[in-house]
Every structure is written in structure tokens, then in C-alpha cells.
Amino acid sequence: MAAKNGTADYLDKNDPIYKSIKGRSITDLKQSAKKSDPESMENKAIAAKITTWPEEKQNELQALGEQSRNDYAAATQFDVETFLLVFSEFGKMDQKKIAGDYDIRIQHIGDGTYIAEFWEDGLAVNSEENAVVYAHELAVSGYAKKHPESDVGNVEVIKNNYALTRKSITTGKQERYTKMMALLYTIDKNGGVIFHDPGQPMIDFVNNNSK
């Protein structure tokens, strides 16, 4: 059952496919972001191995990476630059925070293909609790000590700024939800859900050329 939202068809939250995709989407996102982290020990080792490849093979991988990222962004109806930036940020987030701060919507785009969209909830991310957490992070990072002339690290100032944003949302001056990320899924002939990892083409290429 699809619910209309603008020109898009979104699955009802009681739809079995919605439940199946939503139930795994956060884990899929976290695991995918982790696999693509260039700072991981595994990826540093892979990067070192790639430097030993012939230049032609390295160029082939680079071209594949660029093309696959563009294709994935197009398939998920997303801007590729924004996708890459936000994707890495999601990798750093706690799964519970994603679940609490994001509304996950499942769009059916035809032929057994679905997009899991992560919409940031402006009221949730700008809660007073998050304002205090952010102030604490600034304090721990030493920002306040490094910039004593600034009030950016002042917890009361931060709480007030977050409150102003919430007011802007509740009064209708600002949209509550903003689409931040999208993942691609398909349903196989047996009804199984298949997640399409953005980095899978590069992973396959590296594995096939490392045997």
C-alpha cells in the first residue's frame, strides 16, 4: 500500500515490505559506512596494496568508483556530492541516535525497486537535550578554551539557538523534515530484501584483482 507524498509513492508503515526494509536500513547504513571508512585498518591495507597495481588498473578502479557513485546517487534520486558528505557522517553516528532523530520513509520506484530515505527530524535534532550534548562536545574538544572571546561554546546560548530553531519549525517558518540520505533496495523473486551497497562495485573490483 503506497501513500502519496508529492509525486512520490511511499509505503504505508504497516506494509510488510516497509517493515522489512526499515528494520534493517540503519544497520545496513552503518555497516556500509564502516566498510567505506578510509581510516579503517582494513582499508588502509587495501589502499597500500592498490598502490602496487599497474597505473592502468588503478585508473580503472578510480573511474569505476566515480561512475558507481554517480549511478547510485541517480538511482536513489540524490545529489552525489551531498550523498558522499552525509554518508561519511552517518558512519560516525550512534544507531540509537539515527533511530531517534530520523524518520525513515520507503519509496517504491517500480520494478521491485525501493529507496529507503532518511529524513532528519528538525525538532528531534534541535532538542534541548541535544543542545546540552553539543555544548559538552565543544567543551571536551577544548573549543571554549581556545576561543574565550566567542559565546559559541556557551551552553545557554546553544540552548537558546536550538529553541529558536524549534520555534521556527513549530510556527511553520521552517520545514520539520529534511531528506539527508537514501539507500537502494530490491525485492527478489522469492520476496527477499536485497540491499545494494554503494561501495559494492569497488569492493568486488578489488577482490577480483587481489586473487
pTM of the model: 0.86
Residue position matching grid coordinates 534493517: 24
Which pLDDT value is given to residue 113? 95
Instruction: Give strand pairing partners of 110.
Output: 113
> Residue 178 to residues 21, 25, 40, 104, 125: CA-CA distances in angstroms?
20, 18, 30, 11, 11
* Residue 140 per-residue DSSP state: H
Confidence category of residue 51, pLDDT binned at 50, 70, 90: very high
Is it the case that residue 122 has pLDDT exceeding 90?
A: yes
Tally of CA atoms within 13 A in the half-sphere of 87 that contains its CB: 25
In contact, 83 and 72? CB cutoff 8 Å: yes
Average pLDDT score, the chain? 89
Confidence category of residue 149, pLDDT binned at 50, 70, 90: low
Which pLDDT value is given to residue 151? 67
Alpha carbons 28 and 116: distance in angstroms, whole number: 11
Give the tens place of pLDDT for each residue, 3-48.
Answer: 444 456 899 999 999 999 999 999 999 999 888 888 889 999 999 9
In contact, 34 and 203? CB cutoff 8 Å: no
First to last CA, the chain: 46
Is it the case that residue 101 has pLDDT exceeding 70?
A: yes
Share of the chain above pLDDT 70, in %: 91
Share of the chain above pLDDT 90, in %: 64
Between strands 2-5 and 193-196, the pairing is: unpaired
Give the tens place of pLDDT for each residue, 150-188.
Answer: 666 688 889 999 999 999 999 999 999 999 999 999 999
Is it the case that residue 118 has pLDDT exceeding 70?
A: yes
* Residue 93 per-residue DSSP state: S
* Residue 116 per-residue DSSP state: E
Is it the case that residue 105 has pLDDT exceeding 60?
A: yes
Alpha carbons 46 and 53: distance in angstroms, whole number: 11
